[in-house]
Structure formats: C-alpha cells, structure tokens
C-alpha cells in the first residue's frame, strides 16, 4: 500500500459563485470561503478543489480566463488568496486549483492583440484562425460543432479583398481555442503552473485535458470519421503533460495533477495516466450510470483495471458542477411525479458508503453533504451559456440547477448565503437543507457524511488498496476489502426486494433498520467483517 498524501484523499469541490458571499454582492468569494473553513474541516476533508479563480468576464463563469496570474476581483485579491491557502494548510487541507489550457477568454490580451493587430500579425498564430469556405469564405472552415451547441467557428476580422476568416471555439464564442503548436502558448502555461505552485498551491485539476491539439488539417467530421477524434485526444497532448509532470515533481511535498478527460476508448484514457504524465483522471461513469448493480459493477471493474494497468489509483465522484445532482438522479418518482424522499435518502447514503469503501481518491461536490437536490431554475433566471446555445427543440436546461447557492443558516435571508439577491434564485424550502439545521441532528445527512469520512480515516481497510473481485448477481453488488488480517465484505442491494444475508458480524448498515435483521433493504449497504 502506498503512502502518498493524495492516495486516499477525500477532496471537496468549491464552486466559487455559490459557496458563501461575504461582501454581499450575491456571489461567493474568498472571504466567504474562509468564513466557512470550519465546516470543511469538520467534514474531515483532505483537500479542496477550487473552480477557476482567475480574472474573467464570466461568460462561462470563470472558464473564460482573461488573466492567469491574478484573482478574479469579485472573489477577492491575490493577498486574500494567499491568506486562504495558509488557513487551509494550517488545518492540514490541501488546495487544488482549476487550470483552463484549451482556451482563453476573448478578453485575454492575446486575443485582443490578434483582433486589433491587423491582417497577418503574429499574435493571431496563438489561436486557430482559418479562411472560410464557399463564396467569399462565408461558411465556416469545417463542420465542427461546439460542445455548447451550434457551430464551433465565429467570424474573425478580414480584409475587404480576402476571404472571410473564422476562429475556432469548441465551447462558447467567448472562449477562443489556443494553438498549442505555438511556443508562446506552451511556455506561458509552464509559467502559470510555477506561479501558483510557488504560492503554495498543491496541484491542478486540468479542464478539458483531452483538448489542446486538433487533428492536422482540421478535417470535416464526415471525412475524418467522427467529430470526437478530430477535435480531441490528439497524440501531441501527451508531450505537454510529460513536461507538466516534470514541473510539479520539482516541488515538495508532492503536488498533484488530475485531468478532466473524455476519450472514445479505455485504451486512449490509459495514455494520460502513465507514470510520467498525470497522476489521475476523473471517472465520470458514475455520473451517467443508472440504478443497476451490473452497471455499477462494470464501472468499478473498469476503473480498477485502469489502476492495475497504469498504477494510477482510481478517482470516484458522484456529482459535480456540470451534472445533475445525484440525489435527484437516483430518486425514484412517486405516482404524482414527486421524488420518493425515503428511498432516495437510503440510496444516497449507500452510494457514499460504497465509494468510501473503494480504493483511491474521492471527490465530493459542495452541498452534497447537505443532500441538496437538483433545483428547477426558471428559464428567465438561467445563466449557463450552454442553455442559451440550444436549439428551440432541445430540452436541455443547462447546468444552473446543480449550482444553486449553499444554504447555511435556516433563519437568515437566502439561507445565510448572502443578504443581497443571490446570483441564482434560492428555491422555496432551500433553508430546510441548511447546515445550521443539520449540524446538531445526529440523523442528518451532514452528520452521516462526517461520520463516514471519519470512518474512512480511522479504519484502514476502507482505504486499503487490496480489493477482491467485484461481483453482481440478482441485483446484489459485492466485493471484499483486506487490510493486514482484517477482511470486510461490502454488499449493496440494487434490487427492489429484501436480500437475506449473514449479518452476524455486521459493522455498518446504511439504513436505520434493526442491526439484527437478516434482510438487507432495497438500496441499503452493509459492511460485514469476515472471520
């Protein structure tokens, strides 16, 4: 069993805008986060992951970066950031930053120089700018489609006697893609890494880590085979991460690189987590897995196989800022269309118990510990750019519903998040989920999360790397964990019926059912010590 400080870390994601507002502008900030550091510490968290912290016009809420060497003013100052790092380190909590290398903001100095420098200026070379097709170049250079919907090209200034030119943006037009073949781009990002590492940052979550390079010649989807392969996951990207790994390895204590990576095949994912590249990659399979023992079995096996093949310990996550919160994903519906709260809560607790017993790192999303559901945001209040780029026939509502501000104090306006109007409206009844309401309730979800994280810290078998075959039969998922002379079987009931099991040595059940009851309820997990 390895002993790196990241090996079994529980990481807590902070979505800046929604965590805590101290300056009362309706948006979360650094001082707000510092005021709630005890909440994070009491959870037992090992590290936090901060969504983009840099100056940004906020076209995509921070993922459109205008300056990588400073802090967004609405969040605070660089000096406040430094103090925050110190505060977390004093409590033994590491800090991961989000880094966004695939694209910058259209307000970034480089893009502004490219726009204003005239035809043929060298500043354009840092971006992917091409002549259009058709008469006068009126059509985009190819048929690529933006992740947010619509064409991935927008017009770029051209001379009157030339073809219309276009710039590439695989996301929003406010996020022009960088040309990673350019030396300036590669050098700049190495400097960015060192700037923040020197300030004490413990590592980086890499946004769109499979991006950066595009297929030579920028072929049409039809001609290339598929859009995915042409736009993403090009072989040159691995040279970048080899260099980044050398940089972070210069620092002590150990620094950490984890990628947001989507690949067409498992074999392609393997290449990113070799020993000389990234330490880890997110496993997104749970985020899209339905309620199925076979489905979870297959996803767990695949992640464990990746670890065995590469040495990169798995990463488990059930929610993040881009996905429907998992309380709502796994809540069955009653006849009237409302969620079955009782069943949902059992499933919710059990999923945490399941991932806590798996080897590797666990990433939690702020509010998850309060069992926040997905919120229904009225269209007139939505802010996600992905929502506004959808076609009229699309039913995609964007990501705002998982980004509602945190409820802290039940008896304060906006549940204690802010005294002013929050950037997204707080749903009716949101105060019922507040941390103040749950803090002293021994049966609350908050205290359940605290207890499970503490259990993982104190019971070595839970974070042990030794795990047996993950099996599934008749809706029952099971595996055995081993540490020294202790063996524990973990079983989870995905079926709709009770499951009889040998419970003589049960050390945990996720429901409040009688521990002497030999039947595992639907949705329930049990830990059973094997003698």
Concatenating the DSSP letter of every residue in 465-521 gives SEE---EEETTEEEEEEEETTEEEEEEEE-SSS-EE---TTEEEESSSS-TT--EEP
DSSP class of 15: -
Contacts of 380 (CB under 8 A, 6+ apart): none
Nearest partner of 179 among 264, 236, 238, 243, judged by Cα: 236
For residue 198, the number of C-alpha atoms closer than 13 Å in the C-beta half-sphere is 7
In CATH terms, 109-168 corresponds, of 3.40.50.720, 2.60.120.10, 3.40.50.300, 3.90.400.10, to: 3.90.400.10
Exposure string over 115-124, b if 16+ CB within 10 A, otherwise e: beeeeeeebb
Quote the DSSP letter at residue 55: -
Q: Dihedrals φ, ψ of 167, to 5°?
A: -115, 150
Sheet containing 129-131: give its strands across.
129-131, 165-168, 153-156
Compute CA distances 158 → 138, 142, 143, 320, whole Å. Answer: 11, 18, 20, 41
Residues known to be catalytic: 207, 250
How far is it, in rounded angstroms, from Cα 358 to Cα 196? 31
Q: What ranges in 321-376 are assigned the alpha helix state H?
A: 326-329, 341-356
The beta strands (E) that lie in 207-293 are given as: 256-259, 280-281
Q: SS3 of 173, please?
A: coil
CATH for 466-530 is 2.60.40.1180
From-to residues of CATH 3.90.400.10 in the chain: 109-168
At residue 72, the pLDDT reads: 98
The tokens for 69 are 């060497």
CA 486 to chain centroid, in Å, comes to 33
Residue 72 and residue 80 in contact, taking contact as beta carbons nearer than 8 Å = no
Instruction: Please report, in tens digits, the pLDDT of each residue of the chain (531 residues total).
Output: 345 899 999 999 999 999 999 999 999 999 999 999 999 999 999 999 999 999 999 999 999 999 999 999 999 999 999 999 999 999 999 999 999 999 999 999 999 999 987 777 889 999 999 999 999 999 999 999 998 888 999 999 887 778 999 999 999 999 999 999 999 999 999 999 999 999 999 999 999 999 999 999 999 876 555 556 788 999 999 999 999 999 999 999 989 999 999 888 888 899 999 999 999 998 788 888 999 999 999 999 999 999 999 999 999 999 999 999 999 999 999 999 999 999 999 999 999 999 999 999 999 999 999 999 999 998 888 888 777 777 676 777 789 999 999 999 999 999 999 999 999 999 999 999 999 999 999 999 999 999 999 999 999 999 999 999 999 999 999 999 999 989 999 999 999 999 999 888 999 999 866 667 899 999 999 999 997
Domain 10-102+184-455: assigned CATH number: 3.20.20.80
Pick from 317, 351, 377: which is nearest to 445 by CA?
A: 351
Residue pair 340/34 in contact by the 8 Å Cβ criterion = no
Q: Per the omega criterion (within 30 degrees of 0), is the bond before 253 cis? A: yes
**Domain boundaries for CATH 2.60.40.1180 within the chain:** 466-530
| Residue 496 CA, distance from chain mean position | 31
Two tokens, residue 259 = 């990628």
Note the pLDDT of residue 1.
Answer: 38
Separation of CA 83 from chain center: 25
- Measured between alpha carbons, how far is 331 from 474 in angstroms, rounded to an integer? 21
Q: Measure the CA angle with vertex 291, ends 285 and 295; round to 5°.
A: 50
Which pTM was predicted? Answer: 0.95
Question: What pLDDT score was predicted for residue 136?
Answer: 94
**Residue 457 pLDDT:** 94
Non-local (6+) Cβ contacts of 126 within 8 A are 110, 114, 178, 179, 182, 184, 185
453/449 Cα distance (integer angstroms): 6
Where in the chain are all domains bearing CATH 3.20.20.80? Answer: 10-102+184-455
Instruction: Describe the crossing of helices 183-198 and 237-248 by its angle, rounded to 10 degrees.
Output: 30
Output the DSSP codes for 387-403.
HHTS-TT-----SGGG-
């Amino acid at each position: 069993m390895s002993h790196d400080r990241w090996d079994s870390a529980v990481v807590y994601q902070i979505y800046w805008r929604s965590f805590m507002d101290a300056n009362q502008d309706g948006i979360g900030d650094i001082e707000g986060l510092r005021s709630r550091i005890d909440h994070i510490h009491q959870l037992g968290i090992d590290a936090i992951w901060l969504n983009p912290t840099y100056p940004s016009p906020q076209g995509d809420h921070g993922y459109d970066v205008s300056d990588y060497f400073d802090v967004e003013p609405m969040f605070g100052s660089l000096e406040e950031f430094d103090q925050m790092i110190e505060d977390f380190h004093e409590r033994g909590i590491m800090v991961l930053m989000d880094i966004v290398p695939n694209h910058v903001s259209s307000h970034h100095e480089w893009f502004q120089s490219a726009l204003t420098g005239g035809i043929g200026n060298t500043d354009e070379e840092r971006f992917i700018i091409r002549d259009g097709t058709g008469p006068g170049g009126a059509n985009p250079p190819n048929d690529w489609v933006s992740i947010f919907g619509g064409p991935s090209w927008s017009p770029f200034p051209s001379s009157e006697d030339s073809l219309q030119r276009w710039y590439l943006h695989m996301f929003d037009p406010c996020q022009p893609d960088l040309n990673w073949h350019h030396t300036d781009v590669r050098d700049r990002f190495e400097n960015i890494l060192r700037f923040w590492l020197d300030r004490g940052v413990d590592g980086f979550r890499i946004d769109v880590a499979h991006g950066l390079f595009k297929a030579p010649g920028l072929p049409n989807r039809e001609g290339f085979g598929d859009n995915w392969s042409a736009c993403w996951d090009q072989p040159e990207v691995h040279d970048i991460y080899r260099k980044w790994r050398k940089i972070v390895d210069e620092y002590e204590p150990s620094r950490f690189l984890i990628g947001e990576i989507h690949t067409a095949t498992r074999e392609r994912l393997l290449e990113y987590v070799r020993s000389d590249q990234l330490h880890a990659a997110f496993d997104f399979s749970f985020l899209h897995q339905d309620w199925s023992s076979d489905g979870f079995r297959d996803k767990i096996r695949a992640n464990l196989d990746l670890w065995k093949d590469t040495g990169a310990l798995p990463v488990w996550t059930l929610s993040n800022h881009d996905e429907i919160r998992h309380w709502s994903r796994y809540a069955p519906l009653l006849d009237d269309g409302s969620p079955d709260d009782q069943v949902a809560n059992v499933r919710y607790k059990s999923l945490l118990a399941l991932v806590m017993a798996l080897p590797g790192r666990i990433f939690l999303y702020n509010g998850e510990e309060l069992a926040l559901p997905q919120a229904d945001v009225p269209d007139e209040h939505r802010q996600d750019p992905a929502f506004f780029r959808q076609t009229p026939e699309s039913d995609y509502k964007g990501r705002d519903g998982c980004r509602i501000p945190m409820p802290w104090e039940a008896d304060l306006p906006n549940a204690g998040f802010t005294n002013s109007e929050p950037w997204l409206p707080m749903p009716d009844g949101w105060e019922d989920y507040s941390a103040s309401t749950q803090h002293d309730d021994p049966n609350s979800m908050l205290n359940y999360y605290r207890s499970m994280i503490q259990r993982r810290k104190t019971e070595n078998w839970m974070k042990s790397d030794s795990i047996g075959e993950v099996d599934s039969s008749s809706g029952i998922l099971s595996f055995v964990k081993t540490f020294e002379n202790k063996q524990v079987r973990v079983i989870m009931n995905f079926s709709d019926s009770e499951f009889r099991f040998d419970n003589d040595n049960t050390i945990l059940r996720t429901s409040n059912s009688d521990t002497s009851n030999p039947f595992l309820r639907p949705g329930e997990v049990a830990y059973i010590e094997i003698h």
